[in-house]
Chain A
């Protein structure tokens, strides 16, 4: 297994380099200019030229590419054009925020999704199965930004208006007086700020997980080895949770590999609506600003997450299904 992982990681290096090179040239060819978006139109042309020189944009593209590659390989991501500070600082500031939001959401997505899927499969065609199907499909087909605004409308705006005991804060990751709070209050503050964005993400994504789990579970419980397990007198609970569930997790693991990069690149609309200072907003702003160094670093990070997500999924296949081996 160790050798397999190593082989995959080594194989990812040329892939990532290729992706980075492609992004570099696509960006350089796109219309627009990093000096255009945020500098006043009153700036004379020669000053813009000076800014371009300060950015190193006056050089031919292949020299820029090799310079960028050289510093990138030595771990230097350069300075952001738009924010005027090291790209590494920007990423280090935004990543923890994204990790909290993505981590909690990811855990809840799979917890809620798998539980709901299993319950539905075990009680197939029951009232509960139908109800859960309707509910999950309802949230699945709803545009997330609309769901986000509705949750905010009800649980912060109207909750405030109607004087509910707890009105959730609509935006931010902490209150403005966070540093003056005691430890217990700080935990509470963090949690209440997480509720709305996490709920939105979870409701939208858990539905898919639930559908896949249900489908696969129904398939697995009809297999011979499940009949064997029942025949040797195991309690139903053990049959389902130990023997059936593990093997029905294969498609769920595939989903995990897909959701991971999606969540870590930041669910952009969630971050915009709930003013969450994470990676998604950084990526989008950087693209609009033509902030080349920042776009390069973030898209590279995104590519790494895709590779990692796939690798984790592949490794987990072997964990959940003993029939799969990598030797």
Chain B
């Protein structure tokens, strides 16, 4: 017994000291660290950002693709013809194959479209992104005709989604699509395919040797391993010690460490999450636009960005991010102007009549609760806002809640003010103001207009922004809408948070821009 134990320990010791050169048989492997596990790889049921990026850039081939400046370029569709404002005809490439060898055809695209539009599949793609597309018709195996419900802005961008293989999914009931085993290890058509998946641990992608040259050809790296590492500081340790090559996302406080390390490279690009203070427009005193405006003028947003985000953010003026082609350059964000804020509050009747440092009106102090979720950064931002408001005689009572509890209160419009965020799912600009501000859903229970915004002039601009197809006109409308939002402050836009990622400096072919961190994943390689 004792001898056996000794031998086992010795064996363990020897193997522990062995090692040496390893992993030669694996070819070139790039390791990517992610904070959370991904969802199902199914464009119809997906609603997660990183999962969506992998679907569009690594595993499937969308009809059209974005370049880094958000211009639309051909992808699975090699060309298209707009049918006026009423529809579009796509011609598909003939050399794109599913991983099982079959060709990707117009039938697959139509199948996917119909599946997304089927209400029982409960698809984000079908309900939100394809709301303006009525039908799809396969003219022949590689030609498709889509008809629109009505003329609408950015029509071509309705088609940034990838088809699913009809022959593998036609027997799955739409209501069961979300649970289909296909989603975990799909048969795709992109530069990579999923060969292994272990929950909360890793997803292994292998290069697709048949990926057509016309779309960039098979990727240079043999494998990409996506590892799930939930703790940010652990992830940075992995990046520093060479355990991962790419770290997505990096937290703002880690940017300096990465920039100082010459073996690492920092990628920072303007992101899609907009942080704002939501005012309950149906509650006093936020019914008064002058009070909302004063509350916007009274905060120093740049101070928040510099102090808490380490500079990794950009002041927001509307739901259009500064990097988007439709961003109105002529509109300035409201300045930090506490004097003007004080004058507006005075004029609205909010004065400090009892000398306690807090403004009041008819015996009621200007005091309100600000909800936020319990993440540390959110708490710090609310505390800083509280300090800033204190200086103009406004008392904020921070109230931090677990995320779901906060969301439930926010949705039920049971709040005074809330610090929250809105994430753009795609680059169709009309959808965000429609969801956040349109008065048609201001009274609907649990709708996305959680601030109960009802501004007729804003409604008209939102409707026009959705239906205008002329780009010059569209710019005018957005500029007008942004100015109106500055004036009215139905919610107060704070900042767009930068997307941050770190890589080893040996990584080549990496480009990160608004379409996503993974936009050039098919070109990533290691320079040894």
Interface residues of A (CB under 8 A from B): 31-33, 36-48, 50-51, 53-54, 79, 83-85, 90, 93-94, 97, 149, 152-153, 156-157, 160, 166-167, 169-173, 175-177, 179-181, 184-185, 187-188, 191-192, 272-275, 277, 281-282, 288, 290
Contacts and interface: CB of A to CB of B under 8 A. Distances in A.
30 contacts: A32-B402, A36-B407, A36-B411, A37-B403, A38-B39, A40-B423, A43-B128, A44-B128, A46-B119, A47-B122, A50-B120, A54-B122, A84-B40, A97-B201, A153-B237, A156-B241, A169-B243, A172-B227, A172-B229, A176-B227, A180-B25, A185-B18, A187-B12, A188-B18, A191-B12, A272-B231, A277-B201, A277-B228, A281-B230, A282-B200
Contacts of A157: 237, 240-241
Interface string B11-23: 0101110110011
Given A50-B119, A191-B16, A31 B404 contact: yes
Contacts of A43: 47, 124, 127-128
A179 B222 CA distance: 15
Given A181-B22, A281-B230, A31 B408 contact: yes
B405 interface: yes
A188 B448 CA distance: 53
A76 to B, nearest CB: 14
A42 B422 CA distance: 9
10 residue pairs, one from A and one from B, having the closest CB atoms: A32-B404, A177-B23, A277-B200, A277-B201, A160-B241, A50-B122, A188-B15, A275-B229, A40-B47, A51-B122
Contacts of B122: 47-48, 50-51, 54
Given A84-B39, A157-B241, A94 B124 contact: no
A184 B444 contact: no
Interface residues of B, number: 68
B120 A277 contact: no
Given A149-B233, A185-B15, A275-B228, 11 more contacts: A32-B405, A38-B47, A43-B124, A84-B39, A84-B40, A157-B237, A166-B16, A170-B238, A191-B15, A275-B230, A288-B403
Nearest to B199: A93
B508 interface: no
Contact of A44 (B127, B199, B233): B127
Interface string B410-426: 01000000000011010
A94 B37 CA distance: 14
Interface of B: 12, 14-16, 18-19, 22-26, 29, 31, 39-40, 45, 47-48, 119-120, 122-124, 127-128, 175, 178-179, 181, 183-184, 198-202, 225, 227-231, 233-235, 237-238, 240-243, 402-405, 407-409, 411, 422-423, 425, 431, 435, 444, 446-448
Contacts of A288: 402-404
Contacts of B234: 152, 170-171, 273-275
B120 A32 contact: no
Contacts of B179: 79, 84-85
B425 A42 contact: yes
B128 A184 contact: no
Nearest to A51: B122
Given A85-B184, A152-B234, A152-B237, A277 B48 contact: no
A171 B243 contact: yes
Contacts of A160: 240-242
Contacts of B25: 180
Contact of B448 (A41, A152, A167): A41
Which residue among B198, B231, B240 has the maximum number of chain A CB atoms within 10 Å of its CB?
B231
Contacts of A37: 403-404, 407
